[in-house]
Amino acid sequence: MQSTSHAFKQNAHRALHDPMLQKAMGHVRSGFIDKRVQAAARLPEFDQLRDQAKAIKDHTLAHLDHYLERYEAKVLEMGGKVHWCATAEEAREAVLSICRSLDARTVTKGKSMLSEEIALNEHLEANGIEPVETDLGEYIIQLRKEPPSHIIAPAVHVNKEQVEADFRRVHKNLPPERSLSEAAQLVDEARQVLRQRYLEADVGITGANFLIAETGTSVIVTNEGNGDLTQTLPKAHIVVASLEKVVPTLEDCATILRVLARSATGQEFSSYTTFSTGPRRPEDPDGPEEYHVILLDNGRSSMLGTEFQDMLRCIRCGACMNHCPVYHAVGGHSYGWVYPGPMGAVLTPSLIGVEEAGHLPNASTFCGRCEAVCPMRIPLPKMMRHWREREFEQHQAPAKARLAIEAWAFVAKRPRLYRWATSLLIGALGRAGRRRGRFRELPLAGGWTAHRDFPAPSGRSFQARWAEQQRRGRASR
Amino acid sequence: MASEEHSVAPPKMPRVGLFVTCLVDLFRPSIGFAAVKLLEDAGCSVVVPSAQTCCGQPAYNSGDRKDARGVARTVLRAFRGLDYVVAPSGSCAGMIREHYPKLFAGEPEEAEAEALASRTWELISFLADVMKVERVECHWPARATYHDSCSGLRELGIRQQPRQLLGSVEGLELVEMAEAEVCCGFGGTFCVKYPEISDSIVSKKAENIENSGAELLMAGDLGCLMNMAGKLQRRGSRVEVRHVAEVLAGQQEEPAIGEPAKQVAK
Ligand code: SF4
């Protein structure tokens, strides 16, 4: 996917002036948050489980090569195949060659952020293979030719009315008199259309929430059951997963699953949690004939051992964006690439470079709500600050901002100079603002006063008054 | 020349250095005086080192660790030899408590930074948690609401302390606004780097404040207060905005943030 992260400000400007989007984002603000709080409250050991989940991932990341090798051996033993891919391009080619070997014309797809990351759909289309998204949200944005705007609710930026219009535009057999004003009617309509597509598909592609080293299993969690049909009906099942999805044991997977849905949607468990181990065995009633895992690095291994390693604990629950005031304001597309919100602000610069995505870790108030809710206790603000430090060190921060900080720091390091300079400044501001108590406009503070008044200082600093008070107190003694 | 360090109470009381914070020092000295009053009422001896400037957060959050350390050294130097350091700001206290040890990790001042961090408190939590203040003697008739500033809330766990003390203010009726724990959009340099996004966030905050029906808004951080006051006033709202310490100290004669001084004789 072509990044527009460098144009974050312009993207955000557009988003802030898009009334449809603003309306849709209102639902994010109200929908996810209370449900998560309630789910956490119902489970007294929730915070303890978070610690356990974190420890599991930390341990796995410390021994990643070991667990990946064990995982591969197990997949082979169960009759599957693992394709190690270093880059997005290698992964796309690996998928394509499997599809070609089966003469595939259409592939169905379960929801996968990694497939967005490697722009798999575009690649398949360019090679004459039609990808069909089967997750309702993904299906909607595929019709709209848009990227997802949320990692678990890809079409969260779209309103019901827009979906109805899209269905009427694309679904040729849809009678105009049929009502689609209710969400349930839209779901029904999508189901009917997709049912046919499942049967036609030659290959089913899913992502993975976990890869289990102990058993060679890939795990997906969904609420629609679409993933099951996607992976059991076609001849071949391809799992696209990145390295850090691996966990040692089934037990470990179960522990993390207990915090995943609660953090994501406030459910105790997703409606479907599907475990896939190898292709169909002779005694199985159904299942694919071939089982492939595309095991992709795409920049992750270079995060190991750096200040960004903790980010590899991420289980893509979406809680950080659900609680992010900046995400609520600008929506997912403003971030300009696959991963939005706080997790995107840390991950995107790691994957596509801080030169391109430098705005993302800067566009945060450091309010800390993301870290407070992250089930894997990822210190997201701290890592955003690390990006700012890298930018500053490498002189990538905007020159004006850099100069302002350095000039300010020069003064703030020298208390006497600071007193003198600030007293001049606030003296002048205090005199100018005395009558109204605030400014509607202020030179050099246009960013502030464009939207709000600026409270005027009273004119003399605390220190000056305090010193005077102390002198007086002493004189009168 | 008079020494600007001055003990106001007997030395056997805890010696508290007031970290005024740059915003309070320059924009709203009354918060500093309110802090002094509250600390003295609680039995502290208050010292205000004159060589303090800022905690260094603007540089730290801009990725400029070197300058942040430089500014932080002024704090280390200015507050030596005191029992506690107290700031009327969760953000600045959080900077010293949570971030100075990381900022000085591997530096010669590491131990000193850690010691300072362990002695540093935000004002209201210091009063409630260390000095065990349970109530204040003050009368302030108003329907009021409290905004939880982010650093105080999430870095320092300040939530019930201000509410508890405000509950003892005679005449004050405390109502909770929706989303009291959501950021106001200030974010230090964020509000100037991303003014439009900041505006969107503070606009929602202003709506929540207005919908609460409160006539007085309080918080523990002047940056957030200036942001919210500026937005409320631009919207023509009549909600008064004040620092929680000013209310607890009963400083009613002081004009609210962004309001002109009353033109009456004392
Ligand atoms: S960073 Fe944490 S909260 Fe955000 S998606 Fe990942 S696991 Fe969830």
- How would you write chain A as a 3-class SS string? CCCCHHHHHHHHHHHHCCHHHHHHHHHHHHHHHHHHHHHHHCCCCHHHHHHHHHHHHHHHHHCHHHHHHHHHHHHHHCCCEEEEECCHHHHHHHHHHHHHHCCCCEEEECCCHHHHHCCHHHHHHHCCCEEEECCHHHHHHHHCCCCCCCCCCCCCCCCHHHHHHHHHHHCCCCCCCCCCCCHHHHHHHHHHHHHHHHHHCCEEEECCCEEECCCCEEEEEECCCHHHHHHHCCCEEEEEEEHHHEECCHHHHHHHHHHHHHHHCCCCCCCEEEEECCCCCCCCCCCCCEEEEEEECCCCHHHCCCCCHHHHHCCCCCHHHHCCHHHHHHCHHHHCCCCCHHHHHHHHHHHHCHHHHCHHHHCCCCCCHHHHHCCCCCCHHHHHHHHHHHHHHCCCCCHHHHHHHHHHHHHHCCHHHHHHHHHHHHHHHHHHHCCCCEECCCCCCHHHHCCCCEECCCCCCHHHHHHHHHHHHHHCC
Answer yes or no: is the C-beta of A53 below 6 A from any ligand 1 atom. no
CA–CA gap between residue A401 and residue A405 (Å, rounded): 6
Residue B266 lies in a domain: no
Alpha helices in B19-103 (DSSP H): 22-27, 29-41, 57-61, 65-78, 90-94, 100-103
Q: B190 and B99 share a domain?
A: no
Q: CB-hemisphere CA count at 13 Å for A401? A: 20
CA–CA gap between residue A292 and residue A80 (Å, rounded): 6
For residue A321, which atom of ligand 1 is closest to its CA?
A: 4
Whose tokens are 């959050």? That residue is B61
- The DSSP code for B129 is I
Could you tell me the two tokens for B41?
Answer: 């009422």
For residue A341, which atom of ligand 1 is closest to its CA?
A: 4
Q: Against a cut of 0.80, is the pTM above it? A: yes
Q: B119 and B13 share a domain?
A: yes
Q: Which of A452, A458, A468 to mutate to test the interface with B (most CBs of B within 10 A)?
A: A452
Could you tell me the two tokens for A206?
Answer: 């899913």
Bridge partners for A209 per DSSP: none
Q: B162 and B149 share a domain?
A: yes
CA–CA gap between residue B71 and residue A152 (Å, rounded): 43
Closest-CA residue of chain B to A456 = B258
Residue B200 lies in a domain: yes
Q: Tens-digit pLDDT profile for chain B (266 aa)?
A: 344 444 343 346 899 999 999 999 999 999 999 999 999 999 999 999 999 999 999 999 999 999 999 999 999 999 999 999 999 999 999 999 999 999 999 999 999 999 999 999 999 999 999 999 999 999 999 999 999 999 999 999 999 999 999 999 999 999 999 999 999 999 999 999 999 999 999 999 999 999 999 999 999 999 999 999 999 999 999 999 999 999 999 999 999 999 998 764 44
- Cβ contact, residue pair B187, A365, below 8 Å: yes
Give the closest residue to A152 by CA, choosing from A327, A377, A371, A350: A327
> CATH top-level class for A43-298?
alpha beta
Closest-CA residue of chain A to B50 = A463
Q: B124 and B139 share a domain?
A: no
- Cβ contact, residue pair B51, A409, below 8 Å: no
Q: Tens-digit pLDDT profile for chain A (477 aa)?
A: 789 999 999 999 999 999 999 999 988 877 899 999 999 999 999 999 999 999 999 999 999 999 999 999 999 999 999 999 999 999 999 999 999 999 999 999 999 999 999 999 999 999 999 999 999 999 999 999 999 999 999 999 999 999 999 999 999 889 999 999 999 999 999 999 999 899 999 999 999 999 999 999 999 999 988 999 999 999 999 999 999 999 999 999 999 999 999 999 999 999 999 999 999 999 999 999 999 999 999 999 999 999 999 999 999 999 999 999 999 999 999 999 999 999 999 999 999 999 999 999 999 999 999 999 999 999 999 999 999 999 999 988 888 889 999 999 999 999 999 999 999 999 999 999 988 999 999 887 888 999 999 999 988 999 999 999 999 886 665
- Cβ contact, residue pair A465, B257, below 8 Å: no
Whose tokens are 């105009």? That residue is A176
Supply the CATH number for residue B92's domain: 3.40.50
Give the closest residue to A266 by CA, choosing from A475, A40, A60: A40
Which of the listed residues A317, A364, A373 should we mutate to test ligand 1's pocket, taking the one with most ligand atoms within 8 A of CB?
Answer: A317
- Cβ contact, residue pair A325, B199, below 8 Å: no
The b/e string for B129-150 (b: 16+ C-beta within 10 A; e otherwise) is: ebbebeebebebebebbbbbbb
Answer yes or no: is the C-beta of A259 below 6 A from any ligand 1 atom. no
Size of interface A-B (CB pairs under 8 A): 221
Answer yes or no: is the C-beta of A318 below 6 A from any ligand 1 atom. yes
Which of the listed residues A314, A348, A383, A384 should we mutate to test ligand 1's pocket, taking the one with most ligand atoms within 8 A of CB?
Answer: A314
- Which residue in B63, B198, B255 is closest to A389 by CB distance? B63
Closest-CA residue of chain A to B260 = A437
Closest-CA residue of chain B to A410 = B67
Ligand 1, atom 8, residue with closest C-alpha: A317
Could you tell me the two tokens for A146?
Answer: 């848009």
Residue type, B28: R
Q: B157 and B70 share a domain?
A: no
Q: Which chain A positions have a beta carbon within 8 Å of B197's beta carbon?
A: 12, 16, 326, 329-330, 363
Q: B67 and B157 share a domain?
A: no
| End position of a domain, from candidates B129, B147, B182 | B129
| End position of a domain, from candidates B102, B129, B156 | B129
CA–CA gap between residue A127 and residue A121 (Å, rounded): 10
Q: Contact B256/B242 with Cβ under 8 angstroms?
A: yes
- Which residue in B4, B53, B154 is closest to A418 by CB distance? B53
Ligand 1, atom 6, residue with closest C-alpha: A314
Helix (H, G, I), strand (E, B) or coil at B139: strand
Residue B260 lies in a domain: no
Residue B101 at interface with chain A, using a CB cutoff of 8 Å: no
* CA-to-CA separations, A339 to A321, A345, A401, in angstroms, rounded: 10, 8, 26
Residue B217 lies in a domain: yes
Number of domains in chain B: 2
- Cβ contact, residue pair B198, A451, below 8 Å: yes
Q: B176 and B232 share a domain?
A: yes
Q: B116 and B169 share a domain?
A: no
Instruction: Give residue A27's pLDDT.
Output: 84
Q: Contact A397/B63 with Cβ under 8 angstroms?
A: yes
Q: B183 and B102 share a domain?
A: no
Which of the listed residues A343, A346, A348, A377 should we mutate to test ligand 1's pocket, taking the one with most ligand atoms within 8 A of CB?
Answer: A343
Q: B221 and B244 share a domain?
A: yes
Q: Which chain A positions have a beta carbon within 8 Å of B257's beta carbon?
A: 455
Instruction: Give residue B263's pLDDT.
Output: 62
Q: Which chain B positions have a beta carbon within 8 Å of A454's beta carbon?
A: 226, 230
Residue B62 lies in a domain: yes
Residue B199 at interface with chain A, using a CB cutoff of 8 Å: yes
Residues of chain A with CATH 3.40.50.10420: 43-298
Residue B261 lies in a domain: no
For residue A319, which atom of ligand 1 is closest to its CA?
A: 3
| End position of a domain, from candidates B75, B105, B129 | B129
For residue A311, which atom of ligand 1 is closest to its CA?
A: 1
Give the closest residue to B156 by CA, choosing from B220, B209, B201: B220
Q: What range does the domain containing B157 cover?
A: 134-248
A217 phi and psi, to 5 degrees? -95, 145
- The length of chain A in residues reads 477
CA of residue A226 to ligand 1 center, whole Å: 24
Residue B169 lies in a domain: yes
Distance from CA of B125 to the nearest CA of A (A): 19
Residue B264 lies in a domain: no
Q: Which of A18, A28, A463 to mutate to test the interface with B (most CBs of B within 10 A)?
A: A463
Answer yes or no: is the C-beta of A320 below 6 A from any ligand 1 atom. yes
Q: B202 and B153 share a domain?
A: yes
Q: B25 and B41 share a domain?
A: yes
- Strands, sheet with B84-87, edge to edge from the N-terminal-most edge strand: B45-47, B15-18, B84-87, B120-122
